Structure 1
Amino acid sequence: MAVTQQLARIPAEYLSSCRRSAGESPDGDPRWDPPQADVLDLDWAPSLLERVCVLGGLDGVHLDALRQALTGDPAVDLGFLNTHPHAIGPFGPDPTALSAAEVAHVSELLGQIDFPALLATLPTDEAEAATLIGNDAEGIAGGPRKYLLGHFDALRAFYRDASRRRLLVVLWWD
């Protein structure tokens, strides 16, 4: 099974409740179970999305926002979500999160990125584009453009909805 990046939109109160549950449970069970409609599976697209943005010459402010959207804030202590036997991200680093204010900021900047224009800077030949992107992009069925555009659009819509609803975003690898 491949390790993929997961994101969940949740209210701050839900995260507090999970923290309390983990502290009160004899085996550290946080009772983490966000609604499926508020979970996004980014597959293994994050590094590929970042690479296209770098290759396309995306400016530092927007590139930093994309990176923050994909990595969260490592200073946020969510280790309680990664305690055996209830770890939500047993194959990667501890989960991270972005506050509702950070989500709003990231959402605004993601909304300003013209991802199709960044993809247009790649060679027109899919095989050449995949080789330039690297990270096994050549293994993507149908080529990387459609795959990455779909994942970028999903990421942007996910953050836009989280911002609109004033939710925070938790990120982990599973």
Structure 2
Amino acid sequence: MAVTQQLARIPAGYLAACRQSADASPDGDPRWDPPAYDVLDLDWAPALLNRVGEVGGLGEVHLDALRRATDGDAALDLGFLDTPPHAIAPFGGAPTGLDAAQVSSVSTLLGQIDMPVLLAALPADERAAASLIGQVGGITGGLRPYLLEHFDALRDFYVDAAERHLLVVLWWD
């Protein structure tokens, strides 16, 4: 099984309930199980998307928003989600997250990024483009469609989270 980045959009109350469950459980079980429609699997796209932003000349404010959208922040106390045997990120670093205000800011800035323009800044040759952004091996369906699909999914995920005033939790699984 490949390790991929996961994101979940959740209400603050759900996070509080998970923290309370972890505190009350003898083995620290937070009962973490966000609904499938509120979880996004970004596959291996985060580093590639960030690299496309760098190579394409994305401004620092927007590049930082893209990084926060895929890296999260340490502002939320998520240590209880990283406690064995119920750790949600057994194969990656500790889970990170963004609060509702951060989600709203990131959503706005992601909406201002023109990913097709950034992708057009890559070399026309697919292998050269992949090499420039650090992609090893081919991607079924092509590099540009893969990146555009994952960026669009990320942007739409954050737009919905912002509209619903939700937090976003990120982890690698």
- TM-score, normalised relative to structure 1: 0.97
8 A contact 1:45–1:151 mirrored in 2: yes
| 2: CA distance, partners of 1:23 / 1:139 | 45
Question: Is contact 1:130-1:143 (8 Å) kept?
Answer: no
1:106-162 alpha-carbon deviations (Å, 9 max, x no partner) = 0000000000000000111212211211132x3212321010000000000000000
After superposition, give the CA deviation of every residue in 1:7-57 in whole Å (9 maximum; x if it has no partner): 000000000000000000000000000000000000011000001110000
- Map of 1:144 onto structure 2: 143
Superposed CA RMSD: 0.9
Give the CA deviation at 1:79: 1.2
Q: Contact between 1:130 and 1:144, CA under 8 Å: does it hold in 2?
A: yes
> What corresponds to 2:96 in structure 1?
96
Q: Bigger CA drift: 80-89 or 27-36?
A: 80-89
Q: Which residue of 1 aligns with 2:166?
A: 167
Match of residue 71 from structure 1: 71
Amino acid at match of 1:160: V
The residue identity in structure 2 corresponding to 1:145 is: R
Tell me how far 1:77 sits from its aligned partner: 2.1
**Amino acid in structure 1 at the alignment position of 2:153:** A
Moved more, 78-87 or 68-77: 68-77
Aligned to 2:55: 55
The aligned residue for residue 22 of structure 2 is: 22
Structure 1's consecutive aligned runs of 4 or more residues displaced over 6 angstroms after TM superposition are none
- Name structure 2 gaps, 5 residues minimum: none
Aligned equivalents of 1:120, 1:59: Cα separation in 2 = 16
- Contact persistence 1:29–1:86 (CA under 8 A): yes
User: For this pair of structures, how many residues does the alignment match?
Assistant: 173
**Match of 2:123, SS?**
coil
Contact 2:76 2:99 in 1 (8 A): no
Separation in 1 of the partners of 2:36 and 2:163? Answer: 18
Inter-partner Cα distance in structure 1 for 2:11 and 2:141: 37
Distance in 1 between residues matched to 2:143 and 2:58, nearest whole Å: 18
> Residue 23 of structure 1 aligns to which amino acid in structure 2?
D
Percent of matched pairs sharing the same residue? 71
| TM-score of the pair, normalised by structure 2 | 0.97
Alpha-carbon distance between aligned partners in 1 of 2:113 and 2:129, rounded to the nearest angstrom = 20
Separation in structure 1 between the aligned mates of residue 75 and residue 33 of structure 2, nearest angstrom: 23
